[in-house]
Amino acid sequence: MLTSAVETRTEPSVVAFPAGPYQFTDVMAAARRIKPYLKPTPLREYTSLNSLVGSQISVLVKHENHNPTNSFKVRNGLAALTALAPENRKRGVVAATRGNHGQGLAWAGQQLGIPVTICVPLGNNPEKNEAMRGLGAHVLEQGADYDEAIEIASELVETKGFTLVHATNHPEVLAGAATVSLEMLAETGTGLDAMVMPVGGGSLAVGALTVAQVLHPDVEVYAVQAAGAASIHNSWHAGFPVSAGFPLTIADGLATRGVYELTFPTLQAGLTDFVTVTDDEIARAVQVLLKTTHNLVEGAGAASLAGLFKLRHRLAGKKVGVVLSGANIDQQTLRTVLDLS
Amino acid sequence: MLTSAVETRTEPSVVAFPAGPYQFTDVMAAARRIKPYLKPTPLREYTSLNSLVGSQISVLVKHENHNPTNSFKVRNGLAALTALAPENRKRGVVAATRGNHGQGLAWAGQQLGIPVTICVPLGNNPEKNEAMRGLGAHVLEQGADYDEAIEIASELVETKGFTLVHATNHPEVLAGAATVSLEMLAETGTGLDAMVMPVGGGSLAVGALTVAQVLHPDVEVYAVQAAGAASIHNSWHAGFPVSAGFPLTIADGLATRGVYELTFPTLQAGLTDFVTVTDDEIARAVQVLLKTTHNLVEGAGAASLAGLFKLRHRLAGKKVGVVLSGANIDQQTLRTVLDLS
């Protein structure tokens, strides 16, 4: 379906990128499965935000922070869990994650009555552990670091028959994340000129590309990474996977260390451009969103707007969608952001 | 309808208070009129919030901050404007307000193509003026204080034929505010034991009483005012209107100076109890909501939870609804809240 939709178009501006990790029809199927559990999130425009961005850009903010667990990750968790066969539902799922993916998965498991185990390293943020436990997940605190937590999760797949739900390298998770763009383009039609997507693993950006290719091939999709966790950005510009150092950014939702096989080829083929933003730029975007939209935002949730600030001369006069992907900022980081002059 | 529904009940626990400023059927009509423009807001429970409140209370948070303009006031504006006769729509409406009512009315006017004029005193918060202008309202900055702004609004009613939309003393505004409780009780059925409502003018609390009397007469409705703006609270306990001093509270949405004729009789007859909370208690409730729900909250939006903290021994083991009524906190106040130890 995705391929044929591209082939029937004649405009030379359409870049046909290789078939992605999933098809547009998979996104539609994911949207149907998650519909009973999640309402579409609002897409809103704020005059005061437009004024601050300037360059006569109309900024449309997709409020993924309005979801349960305050991030788009509930879509991913629900899409993955609703696709499981009955016997796998019964056995349960496992993931190694410290962040929003764990909460999204736990929430989805609670809705569907599917046991969820989350592996976190020793010393993981107790607030995040509590949030996942509060959603009924079994939180296993073992292993010295994230890599050891992943090993423990893999062992549970072997010994307990759990299904592993990776935060990125999982086709149903990716189809779930793509429903963000599906809702945006369903609402704007072809009225949107560009979308600026934050990249941790790349699920939102690949979702935008996959959905746009069918619904609105002329929309430009830009990606943004944190400068301190820029391995996918660097690889994109190099044209091949480049390893970067240990990720270091206040946008912990973007703190990934390398490319993901299921998302990188599509990003490489489809994105118009890929930029980075510094922690200071992210913090200022958090401040701007607090002030103009009165929504709480985490670093990763403001990266999209920070990227738009960087691209604003290039996108002058356009209508641009950004994703406020999550709101799970801790109070210490929030205080730091507010104290910026 | 309200009266007959009460008369047909036989439980002695039902206190039949005098017919209010509007009937339950008016709330249903308002709900039908606003439905094309507003989605119901989420009602959510947070394990971490329950733990902090303690006393085995289940706290259900009504997220009115998810509305456009970040407060329940869009319901009021829409309910009032959709009820206008065509000739009055054409002429337009006016209100004297410095806060969320102005934004809600401006947003509703923008949706419906009805001209909205907002009168504010000279020196009013420029951010709030900009927000209202951003929503297409004509903001008239005249008069030394709020009372003079009211006079100017009244003159415009005379000279321009505008319809005055008061923030509280207006039956359709009150019916709009009551849709908050309509949604809450429609979702919980008779599973809710109590509701704790913040009182500025009293529209939310009267809404809870009016809707509960028909849908769930056994639910207890409690009201909360800021200790620094407690005239309605003091009047309620005295049994007659008592004037208090100039209102002084960080919860500017609650900063009213006296009782309102359209809400006071119903509050007097129907509330189970009425408590006050200090600014420090409000600020701590803002902090708790930030931490446990990751939603931005203004002082008035946290008063309901602050009141529940005060009532928690009395409400031990119960399921209690609170309203996060709005999120329009300024950054200076937010910083102050976060700096509380």
CA geometry: angle at B313 spanning B312 and B315, to 5°?
60
- Range with lowest mean pLDDT among A38-47, A96-105, A263-272: A96-105
The helix-helix angle for B203-215 and B171-188 (nearest 10°) equals 50
Cα–Cα–Cα angle for A259, A260, A263, rounded to 5 degrees: 110
Residue A107 and residue A79 in contact, taking contact as beta carbons nearer than 8 Å: no
pLDDT exceeds 80 at position B86: yes
Q: What confidence category does residue B128 fall into, taking pLDDT thresholds of 50, 70 and 90?
A: confident
Shortest CA gap A191–chain B (Å): 19
Measure the N-to-C terminal CA separation of chain B; round to a whole number of Å.
Answer: 51
Confidence of residue B245 (pLDDT cuts 50, 70, 90): confident
Q: What is the pLDDT of residue B19?
A: 59
Check residue A19 and give its pLDDT. 59
Q: Does B329 touch chain A (CB under 8 A)?
A: yes
Question: For chain A, what are the domain ranges?
Answer: 2-71+171-339, 73-164
**Would you call A47 and B339 a contact, using CB atoms and an 8 Å cutoff?**
no
A187 min Cα distance to partner chain B (Å): 15
Chain B residues with CB-CB distance to A100 below 8 A: none
Q: Percent helix, strand and coil across chain B, each rounded to 5?
A: 50, 15, 35
pLDDT band at residue B6 using 50, 70 and 90 as cut-offs: very low
In the structure, what pLDDT confidence band is assigned to residue B147 with cuts at 50, 70 and 90? confident
Nearest CB partner across the interface for B48, out of A131, A287, A295: A131
Class for domain B2-71+171-339, per CATH? alpha beta
* Residue pLDDT, tens place only, B253-279: 898 888 999 999 999 999 999 999 999
| pLDDT digit string, tens, across residues B27-84 | 999 999 999 999 999 999 999 999 999 999 999 999 999 999 999 999 999 999 999 9
Confidence (pLDDT) at B139:
97
- Greater model confidence, B239 or B13: B239
Listed residue (B191, B202, B206) closest to B319, CA to CA = B191
Q: Is the distance from CB of A180 to CB of A64 less than 8 angstroms?
A: yes
With an 8 Å Cβ cutoff, is B45 touching chain A? no
Q: What pLDDT, on the 0 to 100 scale, is given for residue A127?
A: 84
Please report the pLDDT score of residue B99 as a whole number: 83
Which fold, B73-164?
Rossmann fold (3.40.50)
Give chain B's mean pLDDT.
92
Choosing from A73, A128, A310, A318, the catalytic residue is A73
Which residues of B are known to be catalytic?
A: 73, 325
Interface contact A134-B331, CB threshold 8 A: no
A138 DSSP β-pair partners: A117
- What does the alpha-carbon distance between residue A301 and residue A337 come to, in Å, rounded to a whole number? 14
Cα-based distances in Å from B263 to A3, A180, A261, B258 = 62, 43, 62, 11
Average confidence (pLDDT) over B111-137: 93
Which of A130, A284, A292, A296 to mutate to probe the B interface, most B CBs <10 Å?
Answer: A296
Using the predicted structure, report yes or no on whether residue A9 has a pLDDT greater than 80: no
- Secondary structure class of A324 (helix, strand, coil): strand
Taking residues A22-29, what's their average pLDDT? 95
Contact B68 A44 (CB under 8 A): yes
**Set of chain A residues whose Cβ sits within 8 Å of the Cβ of B290:** 296, 331, 334
Alpha helices in chain A (DSSP H): 2-7, 24-34, 47-53, 73-82, 86-91, 100-112, 126-134, 146-160, 171-188, 203-215, 231-238, 264-270, 279-293, 299-310, 331-339
Tokens, residue B137: 């309202």
Residue B307: its pLDDT value, please?
98
Both tokens of residue B102? 């102005």
Q: Which residues of A touch B133 (CB under 8 A)?
A: 47
Regarding an ipTM greater than 0.85, the answer is yes
Whole-model pTM?
0.91
Average pLDDT over residues A44-66: 97
Task: Give the count of alpha carbons within 13 A of B74, CB side only.
Answer: 24
8 Å CB contact of A294 and B328 = yes
Residue B242 touches partner A, C-beta closer than 8 Å: no
Is A73 considered catalytic here? yes
Q: Give residue B340's pLDDT band: very low, low, confident or very high (50, 70, 90).
A: confident
Please tell me the predicted confidence (pLDDT) of residue B289.
98
Distance (Å, whole) CA A171 – CA B316: 46
Residues of B in contact with A46 (CB under 8 A): 134
Residues of A in contact with B48 (CB under 8 A): 127, 130-131, 134
Out of A136-150, A182-196, B240-254, give the one with best mean pLDDT: A182-196
Query: What was the pLDDT predicted at B264?
Result: 95
* Residue type at position A13: S
Question: What pLDDT, in 10s, does the model give residues B153-178?
Answer: 999 999 999 999 999 999 999 999 99
Could you tell me the pLDDT band of residue A292, with boundaries at 50, 70 and 90? Answer: very high
Contact A296 B290 (CB under 8 A): yes
pLDDT in tens, B287-311: 999 999 999 999 999 999 999 999 9
Helix (H) or strand (E) holding B324: strand B319-324
Fold match flag (A2-71+171-339 vs A73-164): yes
pLDDT in tens, A80-117: 999 999 999 999 999 998 789 999 999 999 999 999 99
Q: How far apart are CA A284 and CA A336, in angstroms?
A: 11
Interface test with B, best of A44, A66, A294 (most B CBs within 10 A): A294
CB contact under 8 A, A294 and B130: no
For residue A141, the distance in angstroms to the closest alpha carbon of chain B comes to: 19
How much is the pLDDT for B244? Answer: 74
Q: By C-alpha distance, which of B165, B192, B1 is closest to B84?
A: B165
Contact list, A290 vs chain B (CB under 8 Å): 296, 331, 334
pLDDT of the residue at A125: 84
Q: Which range is least confidently modeled, A17-31, A324-338, B14-28?
A: B14-28
